[in-house]
């Protein structure tokens, strides 16, 4: 029998959203943070470019709002955009107070970059490792707080609802009580009970064959919420980053949009600059447009990649501004980014959809909150403006913290959380076959549900994914739990959600581009809710 681990707040995920929430509430109660791998191995750590906020007199909140609305292609929730961006300067002050060291100019002001879709220089950065610096500072603060406990190598399996608990069910309808969590070191499942549970598990881009995300990005939080009947929205809007390093056989490496903001140009195999023919903003158009431009150029010319050209820029400035990218390209392909062309291709990068929330992170289930990339707040609409993601995690985590600090948890009396049923068999031969489903899902999603889609492709993907989904569920029900099996099950659910959502939107808008429905339609000026 496993002991229940209790706390006032349970945070599933250790990126910017989960850690900033934990730091805000820790003075008001006990916090348990579940980290799937070692704390710090989060999507946040891989964010290179920066975090967007107005910090100068030449810029304005309204300009930032307008840029976000334009990029979002008509689907942004205006209240979410205004809430996040009007408070962004204050959230930057939070980061500075927590010890984040942003790159500054000689006079001490923030060194600001400009990225695609932004009308002003407003992206704060820490060289080209902004996410890693933010993660370092927040994690250091969290480890020092007496009310915060971090459980590393713990994977949440499912949230606990009235379907699992025993006892006082009438007063416990549609309420989250915590989560069942797998300790991968001990290979046991432990119930974590809490007054408030926060899903901050990041995105799900590993559902595609090529992704800039680390291997942890398997959509665990969204899949758990979906299985519990929580509302999910806009899963068809998957952002493909236009430029990941083309290095076949190796894991994708992000070539930050900041390089284009710095003056980098996209050229094809004949060294022709091509983005101006796709959009007047050329390399600084929103990401959906640049990704489609690259995709179209590659298909038209039957080339495996395009190139980012930094050779016309000052060599010393390029290498000092992007030291991490410079070193990686040098090590991986013996490329000097200041002197050589950088081969790039689009790769799955970010989910604009997720668990539907209010402005304070509340989901459609009581006592369950969702933050960061796992959430759908309405900020991004149909396409995320560059460097708004880290700010989204900060802004809505603050809102959620302020909400729960002032809210008394309900007393559930005789509710009893049973132990996890660990019965099951381990069939190694069948597991080898089942595990092959991972690559099949990734290939299907990349081939049929990628940057450009069609009704025929989506229906083909739906049929194939449905069979795989059932195979995995059947195996899951009769097998002993493991981390790999949990992630595979979650990715199958994510694939289903993306395809189902995409089939409901017969138009092209933002990140969802349909060859048989090439235009926008006012009929679809609404969220796709499952």
pLDDT in tens, 143-199: 999 999 999 999 999 999 988 887 655 566 799 999 999 999 888 999 999 999 999
Q: In the predicted model, what is the mean pLDDT of residues 489-505?
A: 98
What does the DSSP 8-state code read for residue 284? G
The predicted-structure confidence for 223-260, as pLDDT tens digits, reads as follows 999 999 999 999 999 999 999 999 988 888 999 989 99
Neighbours of 519 (CB within 10 A): 8
Domains recognised in the chain with CATH numbers: 10-236+352-405 (3.50.50.60), 245-345 (3.90.700.10), 428-524 (1.20.58.100)
How confident is the model at residue 471, as a pLDDT?
92
Question: How many Å apart are CA 307 and CA 284, to the nearest integer?
Answer: 15
Structure tokens that stand for 525 in this block: 């000026």
Asked if residues 479 and 426 have their Cβ atoms less than 8 Å apart, the reply is yes
> Which 3-state string (H, E, C) describes 81-122?
HHHHHHCHHHHHHHHHHCCCCCCECCCCCECCECCCCCCCCC
pLDDT by residue (tens digit) across 7-24? Answer: 999 999 999 999 999 999
Question: Using 50, 70 and 90 to split pLDDT, how confident is the model at 1?
Answer: very low
The string of pLDDT tens digits covering residues 401-448 is 999 998 866 666 567 888 888 777 777 777 887 788 999 999 999 999
Give the burial class of 70: count Cβ atoms within 10 A of its Cβ; 0-12 exposed, 13-18 middle, 19 or more buried.
middle
> Per-residue pLDDT averaged across 397-404, rounded?
97
- Measured CA to CA, the distance from residue 58 to residue 37 in angstroms comes to 42
Quote the strand ranges of 111-216, DSSP E.
123-124, 148-151, 154-160, 178-183, 188-199
Active site (catalytic) residues: 287
Contact between 211 and 494 under an 8 Å Cβ cutoff? The reply is no
């Amino acid at each position: 029998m496993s002991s229940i681990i209790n706390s006032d707040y349970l945070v599933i995920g250790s990126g910017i959203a989960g850690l900033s929430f934990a730091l805000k509430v820790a003075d008001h109660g006990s916090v348990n943070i579940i980290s799937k791998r070692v704390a710090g191995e989060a999507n946040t750590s891989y964010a290179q470019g920066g975090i967007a906020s107005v910090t100068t007199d030449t810029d304005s909140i309204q300009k930032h709002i307008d840029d976000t609305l334009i990029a979002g292609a008509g689907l942004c929730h205006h209240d979410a955009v205004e809430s996040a961006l009007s408070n962004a300067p204050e959230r930057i002050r939070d980061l500075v107070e927590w010890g984040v060291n942003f790159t500054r100019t000689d006079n001490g002001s923030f060194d600001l970059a400009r990225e695609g879709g932004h009308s002003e220089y407003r992206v704060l950065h820490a060289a080209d490792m902004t996410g890693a610096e933010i993660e370092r500072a927040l994690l250091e603060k969290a480890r020092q707080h007496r009310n915060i406990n971090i459980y590393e190598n713990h994977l949440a399996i499912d949230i606990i609802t009235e379907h699992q608990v025993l006892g006082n069910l009438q007063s416990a309808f549609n309420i989250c009580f915590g989560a069942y969590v797998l300790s991968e070191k001990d290979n046991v499942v432990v119930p974590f009970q809490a007054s408030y549970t926060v899903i901050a598990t990041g995105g799900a881009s590993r559902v595609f064959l090529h992704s800039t995300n680390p291997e942890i990005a398997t959509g665990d939080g969204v899949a758990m919420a979906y299985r519990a009947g929580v509302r999910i929205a806009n899963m068809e809007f998957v952002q493909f980053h236009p430029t990941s390093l083309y290095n076949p056989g190796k894991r994708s490496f992000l070539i930050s949009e900041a390089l284009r903001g710095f003056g980098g140009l996209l050229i094809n195999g004949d060294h022709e600059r091509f983005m101006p023919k796709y959009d007047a903003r050329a390399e600084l158009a929103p990401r959906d447009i640049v990704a489609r431009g690259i995709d179209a150029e590659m298909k038209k010319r039957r080339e495996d990649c395009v190139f980012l050209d930094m050779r016309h820029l000052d060599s010393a400035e390029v290498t000092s501004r992007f030291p991490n990218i410079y070193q990686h390209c040098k090590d991986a392909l013996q490329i000097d980014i200041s002197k050589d062309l950088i081969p790039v291709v689009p790769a799955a990068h970010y989910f604009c959809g997720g668990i539907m929330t209010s402005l304070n992170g509340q989901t459609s289930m009581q006592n369950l909150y969702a933050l960061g990339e796992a959430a759908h707040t309405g900020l991004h609409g149909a396409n995320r403006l560059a460097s708004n993601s880290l700010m989204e995690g900060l802004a809505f985590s603050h809102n959620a913290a302020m909400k729960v600090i002032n809210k008394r948890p309900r007393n559930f009396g005789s509710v009893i959380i049973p132990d996890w049923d660990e019965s099951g068999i381990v069939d190694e031969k069948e597991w080898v076959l089942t595990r092959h489903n991972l690559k099949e899902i990734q290939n299907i999603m990349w081939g049929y549900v990628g940057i450009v889609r069609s009704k025929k492709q989506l229906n083909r993907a739906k049929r194939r994914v449905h069979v795989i989904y059932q195979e995995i569920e059947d195996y899951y029900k009769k097998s002993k739990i493991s981390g790999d099996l949990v992630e595979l099950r979650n990715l199958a659910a994510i694939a289903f959600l993306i395809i189902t959502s995409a089939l409901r939107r017969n138009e092209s808008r933002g990140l969802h581009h349909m060859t048989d429905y090439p235009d926008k339609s006012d009929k679809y000026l609404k969220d796709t809710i499952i």
